Amino acid sequence: MKIAVTGKGGVGKTTFAATLARLYADEGRKVLAADVDPDANLGLALGFDDETLDSIVPITKMRKLVEERTGANEENQFYRINPKVDDIPDTYSKEVNGVKLLVLGTVETGGGGCVCPEHVMLRRIINNLVLHRDDVVIMDMEAGLEHLGRGTTESMDQFIVVIEPGARSVQTYKNVKRLAKDLGVKQVRVVANKVRNEEDEAFVKAHIPQEDLLGFIHYNTEVMDADRQGKSPYDFSNTVKEEITNIKNIIDQGL
Ligand SMILES: Nc1ncnc2c1ncn2[C@@H]1O[C@H](COP(=O)(O)OP(=O)(O)OP(=O)(O)O)[C@@H](O)[C@H]1O
């Protein structure tokens, strides 16, 4: 199962991605969670301690590794566009609560899809995760899709946008849907988070087609408490766990 979770900063992609990862791990599945976010914080939500997290360097910031694999350095502007990366997920991930975390970080492409060595590495690792791993892969990504090539998206099982009940989030969903269509993604699905009441639910239902709506996660102060204490929301809120379990069931049934 390969799942990409996208959305604007702060909407709750990390909360959702981390909880989903832990639910799969609880079933005994091998789970790899990849953090492809400039504000990489998936580790905390999975349950890592601060010390371990401080020791993790995102792959895209490992200059030596990028140089070694791509052949690019200050003198050499030419580099391999197909660097070897298949060993990277196992070598550079760390495990907690049954989930392996691989922090990739991100590369600023200015929306134009730069072809710097770091970006080549990032795209190739993501491609490798999606095409060549047989376990569950959950990617926590920023809204842009520039790290995904067509070959990658065609093999992705779920493309999920996390939104809040508001016009700006709906706009993000529409933008992602447009970009995703160009990349051959069959369906972009939505998880509406921080839903407070029936009006919020009605707003979401009015703006998101029924077939794209995976479910709701309600606004819950336990999630904020977990965040404040640097803990996994999974260990703090049974309600959110149940809501995300319901969403997972829909995903698993292939509905
Ligand atoms: N259902 C919820 N109820 C209340 N607060 C929530 C809920 N979901 C997320 N939050 C809070 O919203 C904030 C952002 O959540 P989270 O880090 O999961 O979002 P994100 O989209 O991954 O953000 P970023 O892009 O900055 O990584 C956190 O403080 C989190 O505790």
Per-residue model confidence as pLDDT tens digits over 163-184: 999 999 999 999 989 888 888 8
CA angle (113, 3, 215) in 5-degree steps: 115
Phi-psi region of 62 (alpha: psi -120 to 50; beta: other; left: phi over 0): beta
Residue 17 near ligand 1, beta carbon < 6 Å = no
Cα(116) to centroid(ligand 1), Å = 31
* 94 pLDDT more than 90: yes
Residue nearest atom 16 of ligand 1, based on CA coordinates: 12
Which residue's entry shows tokens 């790899």? 32
Cα(82) to centroid(ligand 1), Å = 35
What is the average pLDDT across 42-53? 95
* 42 pLDDT more than 70: yes
Single pTM value for the model: 0.94
Distance CA 60, CA 104 (A): 6
Distance CA 85, CA 255 (A): 33
Token pair of 173, please?
Answer: 């969903």
- On average, the pLDDT of the chain sits at 90
Q: What pLDDT does 255 receive?
A: 57
Which residue's entry shows tokens 């065609």? 154
Q: What percent of the chain has pLDDT over 90?
A: 67
| Residue 158 β-bridge partners | 3
What radius of gyration, in Å, describes the C-alpha atoms of the chain? Answer: 18
Residue-wise burial string across 19-58, b where 16 or more C-beta atoms lie within 10 A, e elsewhere: bbbbbbbeeeeebbbbbbbeebbbbbbbbbeeeebeebeb
Distance CA 105, CA 35 (A): 6
Pick from 227, 231, 234 the residue to mutate for probing ligand 1's pocket: most ligand atoms within 8 Å of its CB: 227
Q: What pLDDT does 199 receive?
A: 97
Which residue's entry shows tokens 């999920």? 160
Pick from 173, 223, 229, 237 the residue to mutate for probing ligand 1's pocket: most ligand atoms within 8 Å of its CB: 223
Please, which pLDDT band fits residue 219 given cuts at 50, 70 and 90?
very high
Handedness of CA 154, 135, 143, 240 (dihedral sign): positive
Question: Is the ipTM beyond the 0.95 threshold?
Answer: yes
Length of the chain: 255
Q: What percent of the chain has pLDDT over 70?
A: 96
Please, which pLDDT band fits residue 49 given cuts at 50, 70 and 90?
very high
Distance CA 31, CA 196 (A): 31
Mapped onto helix, strand or coil, the DSSP state of residue 137 is strand
Q: How many CB atoms lie within 10 A of CB 246?
A: 13
**Atom number, ligand 1, closest to the C-alpha of residue 227:** 31
Residue nearest atom 10 of ligand 1, based on CA coordinates: 12
Higher per-residue confidence, 38 vs 30: 30
